[in-house]
Homo-oligomer: A and B are copies of this chain.
Amino acid sequence: MPKVNSDSEEKIKAAAKKIFLQKGFDGATFKNISEEAKVNTALLNYYFGTKEKLFLEVFDESFFLFIRLIYQIMEQDIPLEVKIYSMVDKYTDLILENPMMPIFITSEIQRNPEKLIKHFGIFKQPTDTFLARQLASEAAKGTIREIDALQFEMALLGLILFPFMGRPIMNLRGVDTDLAFKAFVLERKKIIPEMMMAYLKTGTKQQ
């Protein structure tokens, strides 16, 4: 059985990822992608069938890695302060490698929630998470103040992710190179955990 060592499929996937990230599903065209990959347009259908299948296959691995990683860290049985530092550190690094992902994911979900949620098998999370119990337990001990787990998560995620989503704003404020932006984001690895801990410790004996 003949097997041809062609890299067209991989070139298409790489090009599709780049174009989709930049233009979104609706804005990206087969012409864009085939030109970026330097292959004939018909090859996209030959290898992937339809535009939707190409989209789903390209983002199958990476799309909800970004959502799952949150829970993976949040649910670890490690001290709260360590968890916060770990979360900020790991998530910042992940997004730094894919800085367009946050806007891409949120906008694609806003425009086609049922399709994405169905295909990527996202399911309702229990409200009774390890993190929730951990926060409640620490508050009961008096080491931190009381806080709703979801409020805690949204605060942490917002602090980590927003600079990437508000990048255009930052451009207007002088952070207009990749280097400057990276420096800005890395500085947050210190600021964010300190901010979270400062809040959690207010009103406790420790502070």
A155-B191, A198-B202, A199-B195 known; A22 vs B111 contact (CB < 8 Å): yes
Contact with B along A143-180 (1 / 0, CB 8 A): 00001101101110111111101111110111100000
Who on chain B is nearest to A25 by CB? B27
Q: Which B residues are CB-close (under 8 A) to A83?
A: none
- Please report whether the interface of chain A is mostly helix, strand, loop or mixed according to DSSP: helix
Who on chain B is nearest to A174 by CB? B127
Count how many chain A residues have C-beta atoms less than 8 Å from C-beta atoms of the other chain.
Answer: 60
Min CB distance, A82 to chain B, in Å?
A: 19
Min CB distance, A60 to chain B, in Å?
A: 18
CB atoms of B106 and A166 under 8 A apart? yes
